[in-house]
Amino acid sequence: MSLFDDLSFSKIGEILTYNPSEPMLFSSGLFFFLFCFFAVFYIALRKHTLARIVYVTLFSLYFYYKSSGLWFGLLVFTATSDFLIARIMELMDTRWKKKLLVTLSLCINLGMLSYFKYTNFLIDIGNAFLREIGILFSYEPWMALESVHYDIFLPVGISFFTFQSISYVIDVYRGRITPLHRWIDYVFYVSFFPQLVAGPIVRARDFIPQIYRNPVVTREEFGEGLFLIICGLFKKCVISDYISLNFVDRVFDAPTLYTGVENLLGVYGYTLQIYCDFSGYSDMAIGIALLLGFRFNINFDSPYQSATITEFWRRWHISLSSWLKDYLYISLGGNRKGKWRTYLNLMLTMLLGGLWHGASVRFILWGALHGVALAIHKAVMAAFPSFKKVGEEMVPWRRVVGVLFTFHIVAFGWIFFRAESMEKACEMLSQIVTNFHPEVFTQFVVGYKGVFTLMVLGYLFHFVPKRWENYLQQGVTQAPLVVQATLLALAILVVVQFKSAGVQPFIYFQF
């Protein structure tokens, strides 16, 4: 074997093994080639159910290995423990025994999640508490305590697959589904690669029946899947990455170096960036799953068109908001125990939703803001029945005002969500309030032509009527295969032109 061959195999080995700096992304060339190779054997196995399940599961585990290395074993452990708990639950004849098993599942999943995501946060809280006690009682050992941060690796998407697994166990307990009898089927459900690392969170009762059907993809479904993938690539690789690297990140990293108007535009930029980044991933995940014969529910529905904060949470990250509603809000009592308990349940649900996103006071404040806004909106609807009207039922001027108000409430919350610290968030707000300088806007337009153009295009595309999007999707769906292939090639060409030098992971990989 020649040196050239040695180098070739060595390079291939490096590409196919886990690299922490280059996680597997839907928008990468490596995924495109691997998926094409995967699809050939997937099609060949479409009539062999068990072989297809094993094959997809192995590819999914490899996909997760390329995202988190050997931590794919954690995914297998989660799937195995909840599969066994559900199977044992089926054998139990009393409700209290089943409750114990649900509690066991929650302890395993939430305990694991707490360790990886919240250990350092809890240590900081404990040390701060002990320092205050030490100051109060003049106890120097506690007064001198310093925060110690452990270097704990956060497996990609751990929050998504644990929540998905928890929902399965709870649904078995509630009698909504019967437990699976084959371990490999459950691992397939938990690890299915399109939605594995950043959602959407797929319910077992929606997904599992599709496992056993032969994956037949109609022409309409193929066109729809292709349309979603192209949209996702454009949102993520063109709009989100470009405005992030060339403007938004700079402003959030050093707010005091920019005027108030630039800080405000940075907030508007991040508001668009996080939507394009996350909905772009969801579009690609749903599109790829559709090409494999699986249909997921929509995860984003033009959320910034919402006229109320309640409507926003019906349109934003729908799989998470519905999960929080079904498994947390309703479990706390929902709206069945009086209005004040309803407001409290909303606050607790959103506080925990904020904490789910990250172990930081910033995320708790973000959750609290949305909890308060939801409670206020519910109180207003109770006091003024006309406010219950939604969508086309609303008076046009009221809807316009509602959209503008809701958008800015959401954008205000994104400041805390994105800022690296509370200090940075306060600096940004201070610049916007005290150092605005609107005359700088024209300089921004001239100096950041590309960023400004993409921001305008991004918001225009977001606010177009839904029927326009449906017409465009229908046009792609009904186009000849040659035209569809040309559109995909053009999308890839545009992505390559906008591609940055470094890998830009999806924002929600960190959750």
When pLDDT is averaged across residues 116-134 and rounded to a whole number, the result is: 74
Residue 145 predicted with pLDDT over 90: no
Nearest to 500 by CA among 238, 277, 274, 268: 238
Under DSSP, the state recorded for 260 is H
Spatial neighbors of 385 by CB under 8 A, at least 6 apart, are none
CA 10 – CA 424 distance, rounded (Å): 44
CA 364 – CA 353 distance, rounded (Å): 8
- Summarised one tens digit per residue, pLDDT across range 240-266 is 989 998 999 999 999 999 999 999 999
When pLDDT is averaged across residues 317-343 and rounded to a whole number, the result is: 86
Annotate 18-34 with three-state secondary structure.
CCCCCCCCCCCHHHHHH
Nearest to 373 by CA among 320, 411, 400: 411
Q: Cβ atoms within 10 A of the Cβ of 160, count?
A: 24
Q: 20 or 308: whose pLDDT is higher?
A: 308
Nearest to 193 by CA among 113, 280, 281, 289: 289
So where are the chain's domains?
23-216, 219-307+390-502
Residue 218 predicted with pLDDT over 50: yes
Q: Provide, rounded to the nearest whole percent, the portion of the chain with pLDDT above 90.
A: 41
Q: Cβ atoms within 10 A of the Cβ of 229, count?
A: 23
Catalytic residue numbers read: 357
Q: pLDDT at position 4, please?
A: 42
Q: pLDDT at position 371, please?
A: 93
* Mean pLDDT, the chain, whole residue set: 85
CA 386 – CA 309 distance, rounded (Å): 16
When pLDDT is averaged across residues 318-325 and rounded to a whole number, the result is: 90
- Summarised one tens digit per residue, pLDDT across range 102-115 is 999 999 998 988 88
Torsion, Cα 60 62 66 70, to 10 degrees, reads: 110
DSSP letter string, 418-435: HSSSHHHHHHHHHHHHH-
